[in-house]
Structure 1
């Protein structure tokens, strides 16, 4: 029988917390305009329960060309004040390509660095316009790397599926996403159903 030394676990948690605090200090002082200027991650409005909505535009994230350490600093800079309370994330996978996908190693590192409050206060993670690949990778990631958020992930084939939880006037998204949505789904394709409301 393998015995786990709780002191080792506590040490790992403390090391992770120290690492996050160092990154937070850097995020507050370093020039991150190069990353913020890309416009792929931002806060826009609130959901129907008044929780901040964070939008991530997959197509605009140049994962293969960007400084990923700076990208992490920008995530921390934007998110740290928000994650002290409940929040939701909307990830638009619309028209993304291989150049937009960071490595799983980097994703796992980010997930492990971010403190518990990020996982605890995340109420929903919506993926809009997922592909089969996205669904498989999301399942794999939330099953083996991030089980704490597995039940919070929801795949939606169109923007209007967000509306029971996030009013349309609270969503600021690029025109290409709306145009793509209309191309594949048509106009007014979603019939609201109380059973699909995820708010909690």
Structure 2
């Protein structure tokens, strides 16, 4: 399914000749040709949408149309199986995981209606990242047993589309509200130029408001809260949190107010930031070495390293730094992972407030919270421990209770092997100054660690 240079080369020149007679193909539609030299009966062609953050919902629905149009063409031509490639491409800036959600849920919705007409749908991937994404998401939409079904209920995003798999926006839905009670209005006198029949006039006079109200079922209208009213209440809560007196603001902890985000809102927020991050060149943030990938810990979980002393708040664009963090963490948060934080010599630098940390957690999304195994903090200070305690109380206890304090490098290496970490020289020097008298000697030049040997007194 869908055209590509490799497909045309394998099919032979006949496919290109027939495609030239189709008159093009609009985004979201599908057309069919013969397969020629390919081991298939037909080839279905479609055009995926370009992705732009501003038109996120439109791109999702256009991608959903692509998959649904291909399945409709499949049934129209009496075919029962299809192999579907990834219609979304990096060239069109479409984030891979959100697009995979759209693809799988659209196929799921279509099969619910036409399960007797389709025997098999095969998702074909060409990269390791796509394969990993589909292996993880397919059991959520197609659980094979009761256990997978229970996991799917907990992990599925809140927005799984409508009956066709398309994204729905409450604010754009047509709402039905009760007709307000109105006083009886007397018809105005008719001018001679108005041509109204006597029957129509009598019908108008006899019409009662009660008759119209009887056609509107109040129980139907009250099934869900008015989205406009819900959004207004949310804005009022945000405005109240920002304008009102806040103990956290008074103490300099940042803005910790505002309503909590739902799962769908966090998913959408993360997708928007990830799309922006993939479209920008963030090399100046990478060169600061604040956040970088390590190896794996003792149990094979990937490690992300954070260096506190490199976080120079006075010369750092925080918004671009957040985008870089989202981009770097994205491959890790899909499965269990570990964070190693070097607080060595970081107490001298200004640090962001708790409100910023809360916002960062919301942007990273719930996968970060669920898959984070531990945060190993090396050389913690009393001030840092107090900050982490405040994070547990005011931001997110589930995440910040995973902090493990590590006083020396040798202790850290019990959790993460030395060869799996790239450690700055000043961390070794700090560890030598703090722990050198406790039986641990670290050479900052060779980074070789030994136990201090003491001679027995004579």
Q: TM-score, normalised by structure 1?
A: 0.85
Task: Say whether residues 1:188 and 2:435 are aligned partners.
Answer: no
Q: Distance in 1 between matches of 2:367 and 2:348?
A: 30
CA gap 1:134/1:10 in 2 versus in 1, 3 angstroms: closer
Aligned partner of residue 48 in structure 1, secondary structure: coil
Q: Any conservation in 1 of the 2:277–2:326 contact (CA below 8 Å)?
A: yes
Per the TM alignment, residue 11 of structure 1 is displaced from its structure 2 partner at its CA by 7.0
| Match of residue 168 from structure 1 | 418
Aligned partner of residue 346 in structure 2, secondary structure: coil
Task: Report the aligned-residue RMSD.
Answer: 2.2
Q: TM-score, normalised by structure 2?
A: 0.38
Misfit runs of 4+, over 3 Å: 7-12, 97-100
Q: Distance in 2 between matches of 1:130 and 1:11?
A: 31
84-93 vs 143-152, which moves further: 143-152
Task: Say whether residues 1:57 and 2:322 are aligned partners.
Answer: no
Q: Distance in 1 between matches of 2:391 and 2:303?
A: 22
| Match of residue 429 from structure 2 | 179
Q: Distance in 2 between matches of 1:131 and 1:162?
A: 16
Match of 2:355 among 91, 95, 105: 105
| Match of residue 380 from structure 2 | 130
CA gap 1:11/1:154 in 2 versus in 1, 3 angstroms: closer
Q: Any conservation in 2 of the 1:92–1:127 contact (CA below 8 Å)?
A: yes
Per the TM alignment, residue 100 of structure 1 is displaced from its structure 2 partner at its CA by 3.8
CA gap 1:181/1:12 in 2 versus in 1, 3 angstroms: same
Larger Rg: 2
Per the TM alignment, residue 10 of structure 1 is displaced from its structure 2 partner at its CA by 9.8
Q: Any conservation in 1 of the 2:341–2:376 contact (CA below 8 Å)?
A: yes
Per the TM alignment, residue 98 of structure 1 is displaced from its structure 2 partner at its CA by 5.2
| Match of residue 29 from structure 1 | 279
CA gap 1:160/1:10 in 2 versus in 1, 3 angstroms: closer
Match of 2:401 among 151, 170, 173: 151
Q: Distance in 1 between matches of 2:262 and 2:422?
A: 39
Q: Distance in 2 between matches of 1:104 and 1:91?
A: 17
Per the TM alignment, residue 53 of structure 1 is displaced from its structure 2 partner at its CA by 1.0
Q: Any conservation in 2 of the 1:130–1:157 contact (CA below 8 Å)?
A: yes
Higher relative contact order (CA 8 A, sep 6+): 1
Q: Note the alpha carbon deviations across 1:47-78, whole angstroms, 9 max, x for none.
A: 11111111100000112321111000000110
Q: Distance in 1 between matches of 2:274 and 2:367?
A: 14
Q: Any conservation in 2 of the 1:16–1:112 contact (CA below 8 Å)?
A: yes
Match of 1:48 among 298, 314, 322: 298
146-155 vs 117-126, which moves further: 146-155
Per the TM alignment, residue 158 of structure 1 is displaced from its structure 2 partner at its CA by 1.2
Q: Distance in 1 between matches of 2:261 and 2:280?
A: 28
Q: Any conservation in 2 of the 1:59–1:100 contact (CA below 8 Å)?
A: no
| Match of residue 17 from structure 1 | 267
Q: Distance in 2 between matches of 1:184 and 1:86?
A: 32
